[in-house]
Chain A
Amino acid sequence: MMNDRLIAALSDINDEMIIDAAPGKQYGQTGSVRQSERVQRRRTFYRIAAAAACLCVVVAVLAVVRPWNVERNNVAHNVGKNNEVTEPDTNIVNYPSMPDYSACKGSETTEIQSELAVIGKYPEEPADIFGTAAVGMDMEFCPIGTVPGDGFIVPADVPEKLAVYRNEEADPAGFPKGLDKTQMMELIDMYAERLGINIDTVSEFIDKDETNKDILVWLDAYSGEVRIKADAGGHVMIQMPESMFPKDIGSVLSFEDQVMKQDWEYVAESYNEDGSVKNRIYKVLSYIYHDQSDPLKLASIWTAVEGVVYLHIYDYGLLAEKVDDYPVISPARALEKLKAGEYCAPLKNGSTLFSGEAQIVGLRIEYYLDPAMEYIVPFYVYTAMLPDVTSDAIYSEYGIKDAAAYAEYYIPAIDERYFGSSAMTWN
């Protein structure tokens, strides 16, 4: 067995490594040296929907074509090859829940949007922050089935099985849970070290859990104009002046096989319950990075306020463990589901409804990472270009030309027979 061989082969490694790891050996404090630490306690007056707050801005594009609704029922959903009902090998009970984008109240995102509205300005030219000019939508347009550009896969490359992961600490309300204070501080120290800064102050954000017990939700660390926030769900947010942000993001992320999957310049809108536009940002620059060797890692950079960069890092491997590998449906089957309306969309239907056909311009397989989801499952993600919106007077007024509207549609890539008694209905 390979594990025996590994154990045996370890005997032959360097002497110094062996001694350095000897039991009982002391190494001093781990992590970077903190100059001083002053901890404050703050109480919140409302529960933060952290997941919704963070994710909504990253993916925000204009409204999707069709309304979307998800209901859960108790119908068994396991059908064998001969239509017999069988019990699944493993019970994946939770379909992914999409964040509610109207729940941005109280997040820093909303504050930024408000500030922008007051200032009334946005960058005239795309910012050349990372060495590449972000001009328009950096996507290659191609029909499904042909060779796509970066970030997409050829349907023939779809694997037969893909892993499903489970995060026991996932909270349906998106409440960050799982890491303790030491672990959150480790994350902060790690990124502070990579950025070459020393943390001056650290404050705690305390909330009440469902039993009314105080629980540490996140730590906020500051070093001058740099803020590093680590929450109990493993999400790290770094806020810093654009001038300080490293040109090489790889030095911060340390992703093993880093790929920039998306490079967007877009208008971000958030919506009220009645579908009216709550907030609109006219130029958001967003870059999304994946670690191709680890589907549970994601990083996004965006800037909507001039001169400030926000880096969000999600590493669900901190809390999630692999359940098993599950059979994947074919791209053809996924397309059938898309056409039948059996999809999820990360946006609620907004104020603008489109009629006409949407052109599918891209396909990829991606894990939908959401701290509210107990199970992390892969999806086929179709990107569609919606009918022309450049005639919209609002955008013209702000000088946005040649804009195009895009929407993304998510179809679970795992064969639905392996899901448990929860089922999804479609409009």
Chain B
Amino acid sequence: MEDEKIIELYWARSESAVSETENKYGRYLKTVARNILSDEEDSLECVNDTYLNAWNAIPPSRPRVLQSFLGRITRNLALDRYRANTAEKRGGGQLALALDELLDVSSGENVADTVADRSAITDALKLFLSGLTDEDRRIFLKRYWYFMSVKDVAHDMSLGESSVKMRLLRMRESLRRTLIKEGIEI
């Protein structure tokens, strides 16, 4: 079913909105959650919570792109759950590895988080991403948005793992320089 029609189901408060969403995006959302959490049960809970969040958000929202709207919800829910779970231990999964990789970009020290900072960081990220080739951007986002393993990224992109690793390393360096140039404290 087309996204516009699914969104109309939400607006009409039709119960089939959720089932249609699950039919079309369930697998995608499970992948997003699983890459972060590793645990199957936690992942399923996140996806179910995503449907509930979407039901509560639409209306009044009318997402322009339903897939990314839902993906963001799942991602954020999964990240929150990961942080809650990870106080005592790293639960495995690609998120831990990705976080370690992204330490390259920073000084590693705690810096106060503010709303303004996040907006500036987002702008810098957009600037950085827009300067990448399509291929590099896909690699970067598959790794750091979707938390896919390097192996899976390489498979999707028909590249060798070494090549993916090298490109990610270079992009992290480039991101670091972009953040510095944009005056973002790292």
Residues of chain A whose beta carbon lies under 8 Å from any beta carbon of chain B? 1-27, 29-30, 179-180, 182-183, 186, 256, 293-294, 317-318, 321
**Can you name 7 extra interface pairs (CB under 8 A) apart from A13-B125, A23-B142, A321-B169?**
A7-B99, A11-B72, A16-B65, A19-B68, A179-B162, A183-B163, A293-B173
B103 neighbours in A (Cβ, 8 Å): 1-3
Q: Report the bound CA distance from A321 to B84 in whole Å.
A: 33
Of the listed stretches B37-45, B48-56, B145-153, chain A binds B145-153
| A24 and B156 within 8 A (CB) | yes
Contact of B108 among A1, A18, A25, A293 (CB under 8 A): A1
Contact of A5 among B117, B163, B166 (CB under 8 A): B117
| A20 and B148 within 8 A (CB) | no
Would you call the interface of chain B mostly helix, strand, loop, or mixed? helix
A21 neighbours in B (Cβ, 8 Å): 137-138, 140-142, 145-146
Give chain B's interface residue range (CB within 8 Å of chain A).
35 or more
Knowing A14-B126, A30-B135 are in contact, say whether A23-B173 is a contact too (CB < 8 A).
no
A22 neighbours in B (Cβ, 8 Å): 28, 67, 71, 146
Provide a sorted-by-A list of 5 A–B residue pairs whose CB atoms are within 8 angstroms. Answer: A6-B144, A16-B65, A23-B142, A30-B159, A293-B177
Residue B157 is within 8 A (CB to CB) of chain A in the complex: yes
| B31 and A6 within 8 A (CB) | no
B175 neighbours in A (Cβ, 8 Å): 6
A24 neighbours in B (Cβ, 8 Å): 31, 156
A1 neighbours in B (Cβ, 8 Å): 99, 103, 106, 108-111
Contact of A23 among B113, B148, B160 (CB under 8 A): B148
A7 neighbours in B (Cβ, 8 Å): 79, 95, 98-99, 102, 144
Of chain A, the residue at the smallest CB distance from B174 is A256
Among A13, A14, A317, A321, chain B packs the most CB atoms within 10 A around the CB of A13
Q: Report the bound CA distance from A21 to B147 in whole Å.
A: 11
Would you call the interface of chain A mostly helix, strand, loop, or mixed? helix
A318 neighbours in B (Cβ, 8 Å): 166
Q: Report the bound CA distance from A18 to B74 in whole Å.
A: 13
Residue B158 is within 8 A (CB to CB) of chain A in the complex: yes
| B105 and A2 within 8 A (CB) | yes
| A9 and B121 within 8 A (CB) | yes
Cβ distance A11 to chain B, nearest Cβ, rounded Å = 5
Among A6, A14, A18, A29, chain B packs the most CB atoms within 10 A around the CB of A6
B140 neighbours in A (Cβ, 8 Å): 21
Q: Report the bound CA distance from A29 to B98 in whole Å.
A: 26
B170 neighbours in A (Cβ, 8 Å): 317
Contact of B157 among A6, A14, A27 (CB under 8 A): A27
A256 neighbours in B (Cβ, 8 Å): 174, 177
| B76 and A11 within 8 A (CB) | yes
Top 8 nearest A-B pairs (CB, nearest first) are A2-B106, A21-B141, A3-B102, A15-B65, A15-B68, A9-B121, A18-B68, A12-B122
Number of A-B contacts (CB under 8 A): 143
Residue B89 is within 8 A (CB to CB) of chain A in the complex: no
Q: Report the bound CA distance from A294 to B71 in whole Å.
A: 35
| A9 and B122 within 8 A (CB) | yes
Among B68, B69, B126, chain A packs the most CB atoms within 10 A around the CB of B68
Q: Report the bound CA distance from A64 to B121 in whole Å.
A: 52
Of chain A, the residue at the smallest CB distance from B124 is A9
Of chain B, the residue at the smallest CB distance from A29 is B158
Q: Report the bound CA distance from A41 to B41 in whole Å.
A: 53
Cβ distance A17 to chain B, nearest Cβ, rounded Å = 6
Of chain A, the residue at the smallest CB distance from B176 is A2
| B75 and A11 within 8 A (CB) | yes
Knowing A7-B144, A22-B67, A22-B146 are in contact, say whether A30-B157 is a contact too (CB < 8 A).
yes
| A6 and B125 within 8 A (CB) | yes
Of chain A, the residue at the smallest CB distance from B155 is A24
Cβ distance B165 to chain A, nearest Cβ, rounded Å = 9
B118 neighbours in A (Cβ, 8 Å): 5, 8-9, 12
- Within 81-139 of B, Cβ neighbours of A (below 8 Å) are at 95, 98-100, 102-103, 105-111, 113, 117-118, 121-122, 125-126, 129, 134-135, 137-138
| B137 and A2 within 8 A (CB) | no
Residue B57 is within 8 A (CB to CB) of chain A in the complex: no
B173 neighbours in A (Cβ, 8 Å): 293-294
A321 neighbours in B (Cβ, 8 Å): 169
Q: Report the bound CA distance from A294 to B176 in whole Å.
A: 13
Q: Report the bound CA distance from A317 to B173 in whole Å.
A: 11
B95 neighbours in A (Cβ, 8 Å): 7
Q: Report the bound CA distance from A15 to B113 in whole Å.
A: 24
B31 neighbours in A (Cβ, 8 Å): 23-24
A180 neighbours in B (Cβ, 8 Å): 160, 162
Q: Report the bound CA distance from A30 to B28 in whole Å.
A: 24
Cβ distance B116 to chain A, nearest Cβ, rounded Å = 12
Contact of A13 among B98, B110, B129, B142 (CB under 8 A): B129
B64 neighbours in A (Cβ, 8 Å): 15
Of chain B, the residue at the smallest CB distance from A22 is B28
| B99 and A3 within 8 A (CB) | yes
A27 neighbours in B (Cβ, 8 Å): 135, 138, 156-158
Residue B12 is within 8 A (CB to CB) of chain A in the complex: no
Q: Report the bound CA distance from A23 to B138 in whole Å.
A: 10
Cβ distance A16 to chain B, nearest Cβ, rounded Å = 7
Of chain A, the residue at the smallest CB distance from B143 is A21
| B106 and A13 within 8 A (CB) | no
| B166 and A3 within 8 A (CB) | no
| B68 and A10 within 8 A (CB) | no
A18 neighbours in B (Cβ, 8 Å): 67-68, 71-72, 141, 145
Cβ distance A377 to chain B, nearest Cβ, rounded Å = 19
